[in-house]
Structure 1
Amino acid sequence: MACVLEMRADLVGPFIGKFNRNAMQNVTLYAFAAPVVAQQSPGSGPMMGQLLFFGLFFAAMWFLLIAPQRKKQKAHLAMIKALTTGDEVLTSGGIYGVVTNVKDDRVVLRIAEGTKIELARSFVQSVEKKASGS
């Protein structure tokens, strides 16, 4: 049912260049694809294939990028809520300190003897060591 288009190399001879060779492949591919396109139902055109492609692409991006980021964000929020006095933490600015006081939206860190800083909870990057009592 598929029509096959053959071109003999001895007839084409020196005219086979990069452009001509690609043109022959395209003609051959179109000759094979024509009966397949004719057999498709009228409702399932290229629009269905594009929708399927974009749907699969979105699902892949969700599972590869968005879902892990949301999981990481939830874990960071849980870590911030669980901060207690005595935890050794690392801030997003690279400062290590010990939590001395926990307020609603801030924490007070002791970074050296006699030196305390107050910063927003969201700037705590990680808990290096939990307090021994907790």
Structure 2
Amino acid sequence: MESWMGTVVYFIFILGIFYLVLIRPQQKRQKQHRELLESLKVNDDVVTAGGIFGTITRVKDNSVWLKVADKVEIEVLKSAVSSVQGTEKK
């Protein structure tokens, strides 16, 4: 009977470590990215996940328009924006 209880305690301990090392940090990163996407505004300099640098000219519900060169604008999904210039951590 004692070995069964020890196995359960050990299993719960391993799950706790797994949560603290893998799941919690991922949830924190997702929350930060969601907050970043919600705070996007016109004239922010951003970088997309594909490495495109641009300045936001319009913000829509699910996408933003980026000025990437003179007279060149592209529409990208908000979820593709990976960082705002000047706010990423080094």
TM interval, shorter chain, is over 0.9
Q: TM-score, normalization: structure 2?
A: 0.92
Instruction: Return the structure number with greater relative CO, CA threshold 8 A, min gap 6.
Output: 2
How large is the Cα RMSD of the aligned pairs?
1.1
4+ residue segments displaced more than 4 Å = none
Give runs of aligned pairs for residues 14-25 of structure 1, distance below 5 A.
none
CA distance in structure 2 between the partners assigned to 1:66 and 1:128 by the alignment? 27
**Does 1:50 pair with 2:23?**
no
Over the matched positions of the two proteins, sequence identity in percent amounts to: 37
* Structure 2 unaligned regions, length at least 5: none
Higher helix share: 1
Partner of 2:21: 64
**Does 1:128 pair with 2:80?**
no
Q: TM-score, normalization: structure 1?
A: 0.63
CA distance in structure 1 between the partners assigned to 2:4 and 2:79 by the alignment? 45
Q: Paired residues, what number?
A: 87
CA contact (8 A) 1:90 1:127 kept: yes
SS of 1:53 mapped into structure 2: helix
**Does 1:114 pair with 2:71?**
yes
The structure with the largest alpha-carbon Rg is: 1
**Does 1:79 pair with 2:28?**
no
Partner of 1:34: none
Higher strand share: 2
CA contact (8 A) 1:89 1:97 kept: yes
